[in-house]
Chains A and B, each alone.
Chain A
Amino acid sequence: KTQVEQSPQSLVVRQGENCVLQCNYSVTPDNHLRWFKQDTGKGLVSLTVLVDQKDKTSNGRYSATLDKDAKHSTLHITATLLDDTATYICVVGDRGSALGRLHFGAGTQLIVIP
């Protein structure tokens, strides 16, 4: 059974617009949550990691939130660029290091159009 659900499956936005990607999970324990960006035909690149019960991070135009009570995370991308076109993957770790099991979502495919 899928333990990490991402929505929407795909999203099209115009360059310059903001967007929000959602991640809901049922993984227990939920030690930390990561967001990755995967360009087509490439490997995953880490964007951010969230650890606290209610956490917020910011990395340039990317910001993320985590609410462990709700088992929910969001990734916000502001002022999107064409290069933001990619698949964004939510990953929940059940232990305090990558040596623990990582649970991957299927990803949200973001397409940014001119």
Chain B
Amino acid sequence: DMKVTQMPRYLIKRMGENVLLECGQDMSHETMYWYRQDPGLGLQLIYISYDVDSNSEGDIPKGYRVSRKKREHFSLILDSAKTNQTSVYFCASSLLGTGGSISNERLFFGHGTKLSVL
């Protein structure tokens, strides 16, 4: 059963604390993503990882960093969390289809981590 697993599901932190969000996938996908979702806005890309230790900034990387030491595991780290980082964070992974056809490409999302920074 192909899936993306995020831990924890809910997290409450105080401003200034460090935060670690974990994501795992069991499909050996090379590409993984971290997004955040805020009310009334579309998902925004924080970081993208093309494989182990091959990470690139997305649209809103400030205040975040990532770590990918194993293909199946991608972490999002907030050093000294801020209240405006309260959000729902989604991890995703993708598998390119046969022959590189976009029609066959599949995107898998985790259930999200709801982070509240007080």
Contact = CB atoms under 8 A, between A and B. Distances in A.
- Among B42, B106, B111, max chain A CB count under 10 A is at B42
A106 B41 CA distance: 5
Contact of A99 (B31, B35, B44, B112): B31
A98 B111 contact: no
Contact of A43 (B4, B42, B102): B4
A49 interface: yes
Interface string A15-48: 0000000000000000110100000011111100
Interface residues of B, number: 26
A34 B94 CA distance: 14
Interface string B93-107: 010100010110111
B100 A106 contact: no
Interface stretch (A60-68, A71-79, A89-97): A89-97
B107 A104 contact: no
Interface of A: 2, 4, 31-32, 34, 41-46, 49, 51, 89, 91, 93, 96-99, 101-107
12 contacts: A43-B90, A43-B108, A43-B112, A44-B43, A45-B109, A46-B106, A97-B96, A98-B96, A102-B45, A104-B42, A106-B40, A107-B42
Given A43-B90, A93-B102, A97-B94, 19 more contacts: A32-B102, A32-B103, A41-B111, A43-B108, A43-B109, A43-B112, A44-B43, A44-B107, A46-B107, A49-B103, A49-B105, A89-B42, A96-B100, A98-B31, A98-B105, A98-B107, A101-B45, A102-B45, A105-B42
